[in-house]
Structure 1
Amino acid sequence: MHVIASPFLEQHVLVRPGSRGGALLPEARYEELRALDTTEPPPAWLADALRAQWEDLDVTVRLVDDFLLVRQPSSWGYSKASWEINLGCNYDCKHCYLGQKMKAGMPWEDKRRCLDIMAEAGVLFLQITGGEPTIDRDFMRAYRYAWELGMMITVSTNGSLLWRENVLRLFRECPPYRVTVSMYGATKASYDELTQRPGAWDQFVQGMNAGRHARLPLRMSIVVTDDNGHEEQAMQDLCESWAVEYEVFTNMTPTIYGGGEVLTAQSKEHLRVRKQFTGCNAGHTFFHMDPFGLVSICKIGRDDQISLPHEGIEGLARLGAIADRLMLRTGGCSGCSIAGTCRVCRPLAKHYQEAKAPLAAYCQHGDKKAG
């Protein structure tokens, strides 16, 4: 498989694993692809479209089933999902929002069933995260299975195991859409301190060197905390010297259990004013699944979870109503006079409130009080 033709939201697209590019596909052309005899060569318009988008892809003398996977329509309307394959990690970062590092999760048969359900629900873009996903015993076959279902996969990792040949081979055979690596410092001292793992920096550098040599589609998430805040510019400089695009994250969040202990890792000097929250489609066009197959509207709003292994795809029918309810300004935010310009969604505000976080961390009222 080199190319995927798939519905995406209310459109149809041509995408290619390992490539950031893609093309819109008229509905009539998509329906034509669904009806193709895959044992025949491709129509001329398809070969031309693929060559125009990807110059190295010449399919004129190939059979359709050698390079094309056509995803079937879904009535469920989901296009993206994220999956915590586990909560275990080989680091113990001070700021981690997952709290306890548990290696428990579903057996392989349930993982495979959940991936089948995701595909049936229309999920084209899948983020596999953790914990650290590459330490999960089923990561390799789960990734390959999702890829063979026609998903464009992003792996969110600390990069410590990217040097392993079995991981590199997997990514060569089944190219990821993106590999997003978290960065916790620009020196061994700060990196090992934040991760609380001696030698973590060395593993990170080894993984990044291997990933860059393999030309993986890398993207860096620079995490700025009290331990490494003085190295923010140095981390950016390192990413630029590696020619890796990056995004900087400075605001810590409570744990998924509402614990505020990780907020002590926050660098107050680097705390940024969040942009105004204008709504999202959480629970309507995308969803999140934890290691036990429990589906929620997103990584933050985990109330009223749906068990995908037990309820099957029919359970997703309740997700939209759950999303609408969780977004209501209730509890500590009910009656707020400036809710219309709030900087965080209601589920995130609830986490901060449960953690007894300072208002300045998430609420405009904290700005006024500070002033």
Structure 2
Amino acid sequence: MHQLIASPFLDQHVLVRPGSRGGALLPEAGYEELRTADRDAPAPEWLADAVLEQWPDLVEVVGRPLGDVALIRQPSAWEYGKASWEINLGCNFECKHCYLGLKMNSGMPWEDKRRCLDIMAEAGVLFLQVTGGEPTVDRDFMRAYRYAWDLGMMITISTNGSLLWRQNLLDLFRERPPYRVTVSVYGAAKRSYDELTHREGAWDQFVQGMNAARHARLPLRMSIVVTGDNGHEEQAMVDLCRSWGVEYEVFTNITPTIYGGGEVLTAQSKEHLRERKPFTGCNAGRTFFHMDPHGLVSICKIGRDDQISLPHEGIGGLARLAEIGDRLMLRTGGCSGCTLSGACTVCRPLAKHFQDARAPLAGYCQHGQKKEG
């Protein structure tokens, strides 16, 4: 089982370690040496030196066969470095603010999931986010995680944390460490937490999961979600993360569902609505993509029009993503001819969701902001 991964990543070559945030850049010649080396030969001395400089605890790499230490990813003509995957939309919570809308347990059979992961690896995906719904409730989560890890992917799990106390998950993450486990925080007390998630006992499950995850020293990161139900606890949620010694990020702006539904916008705390930074563009569809539970690939989680069926079209279908991305980013519909588009604070696909939801302009558009007199 590999401890290191040497891989192309976009226009570079990197050396990374599952379970670690650190890494090192490899010169192209060094990567090629590793790619063509005898797997049974000792790891090159220069590699051992680079590993010990970045990860001093990995002293056992010295003198060991390269194949026992590192997985060497092959080059890809597609150059997709990242991807996200909703393994299932099913969830054991029913949060008021969830942008996914319906929580339906549905998805692909295992053979299609495995085929999609193989295609992702062939496309060059090194960093994979596995999300949901709640990913850990999917019946294939553990073997999908194991399979992707064995392909040489650095995996982030986005979770509500409620099942992280399960021993089978903890054993899996100990054997095959995740790159990161991102846990959403929905309150700092039982009442507000259970109210937002519509699940009695959700707070207790969250705390149990977090205690187990911290004890197992999982690479945790918290996403603090601020809504009308828990807005008065924003500082308490921050303090909770700090007391646990876990890094965090605060999210205050609620978005419509992926179907353009505005029902979740009622969860917005108007007092915590923050001005968005200007949208300066992204590489959606060019260096990363998103896949839903049925293997339908889109440029990202927001721009889901013109999806491509990865199980049916295979890797060749990805060739259309860049063109789809360019088309979805055009200022169309209600944004056509806008004189403020150069400083717009949301991308066009997200603006379309807000427009479909008939959302107040103040939540996403400069035209809805009050002008100072």
TM-score (ref. length: structure 2) = 0.99
- Pair 62,26 (structure 1): closer, same or farther in 2 beyond 3 Å: same
Could you tell me which residue of structure 2 aligns to residue 107 of structure 1?
A: 109
Could you tell me which residue of structure 2 aligns to residue 154 of structure 1?
A: 156
Amino acid at match of 1:174: R
1:77 Cα deviation from its structure 2 partner? 1.3
Question: Quick one: distance in 2 between partners of 1:148 and 1:20?
Answer: 18
Question: Quick one: distance in 2 between partners of 1:252 and 1:43?
Answer: 51
Question: Quick one: distance in 2 between partners of 1:198 and 1:67?
Answer: 46
Could you tell me which residue of structure 1 aligns to residue 259 of structure 2?
A: 257
The yes-or-no answer on 1:54 pairing with 2:44 is no
Question: Quick one: distance in 1 between partners of 2:333 and 2:321?
Answer: 21
Question: Quick one: distance in 2 between partners of 1:339 and 1:256?
Answer: 23
Question: Quick one: distance in 1 between partners of 2:292 and 2:44?
Answer: 42
Could you tell me which residue of structure 2 aligns to residue 179 of structure 1?
A: 181
Unaligned runs of 5+ in 1: none
Could you tell me which residue of structure 1 aligns to residue 192 of structure 2?
A: 190
Could you tell me which residue of structure 2 aligns to residue 85 of structure 1?
A: 87
1:369 Cα deviation from its structure 2 partner? 6.9
Could you tell me which residue of structure 2 aligns to residue 122 of structure 1?
A: 124
Question: Quick one: distance in 2 between partners of 1:49 and 1:26?
Answer: 12
Matches within 5 A, 1:225-264: 225-264=227-266
| CA shift digits 1:96-135 (9 cap, x unpaired) | 0000100010000000000000000000000000000000
Amino acid at match of 1:51: L
| CA shift digits 1:38-82 (9 cap, x unpaired) | 101111111111111100112112111111100000000100000
Question: Quick one: distance in 1 between partners of 2:293 and 2:371?
Answer: 40
Q: Matched residue of 2:369: which SS?
A: helix
Could you tell me which residue of structure 2 aligns to residue 25 of structure 1?
A: 26
Question: Quick one: distance in 2 between partners of 1:273 and 1:350?
Answer: 18
- Pair 321,243 (structure 1): closer, same or farther in 2 beyond 3 Å: same
Question: Quick one: distance in 1 between partners of 2:100 and 2:340?
Answer: 30
Could you tell me which residue of structure 2 aligns to residue 222 of structure 1?
A: 224
Amino acid at match of 2:30: R
1:338 Cα deviation from its structure 2 partner? 0.6
TM-score (ref. length: structure 1) = 0.99
Amino acid at match of 1:32: E
Q: Matched residue of 2:221: which SS?
A: strand
Q: Identify the match of residue 69 of structure 1 among 68, 71, 79.
A: 71
Q: Matched residue of 1:348: which SS?
A: helix
Question: Quick one: distance in 1 between partners of 2:101 and 2:46?
Answer: 52
Amino acid at match of 1:50: V
Question: Quick one: distance in 2 between partners of 1:173 and 1:263?
Answer: 41
Identity percentage of aligned residues: 81
Amino acid at match of 1:173: E
Could you tell me which residue of structure 2 aligns to residue 321 of structure 1?
A: 323
Q: Identify the match of residue 172 of structure 2 among 170, 173, 180.
A: 170
CA RMSD of the aligned region, Å? Answer: 0.8
Q: Identify the match of residue 200 of structure 1 among 202, 205, 220.
A: 202
Question: Quick one: distance in 2 between partners of 1:338 and 1:77?
Answer: 34
Amino acid at match of 1:9: L
The yes-or-no answer on 1:137 pairing with 2:127 is no
Could you tell me which residue of structure 2 aligns to residue 335 of structure 1?
A: 337
Matches within 5 A, 1:358-369: 358-368=360-370
Amino acid at match of 1:279: G
Matches within 5 A, 1:301-312: 301-312=303-314
Amino acid at match of 1:252: I
Question: Quick one: distance in 1 between partners of 2:228 and 2:203?
Answer: 17
Amino acid at match of 2:303: G
Q: How many residues align?
A: 371
Amino acid at match of 1:39: D
Question: Quick one: distance in 2 between partners of 1:67 and 1:346?
Answer: 45
| CA shift digits 1:284-334 (9 cap, x unpaired) | 000000000000000000000000000000000000000000000011100
Amino acid at match of 1:355: A
**After TM superposition, which residue ranges in structure 1, 4 or more long, deviate above 6 angstroms?**
none
Could you tell me which residue of structure 2 aligns to residue 281 of structure 1?
A: 283
Question: Quick one: distance in 1 between partners of 2:371 and 2:151?
Answer: 52
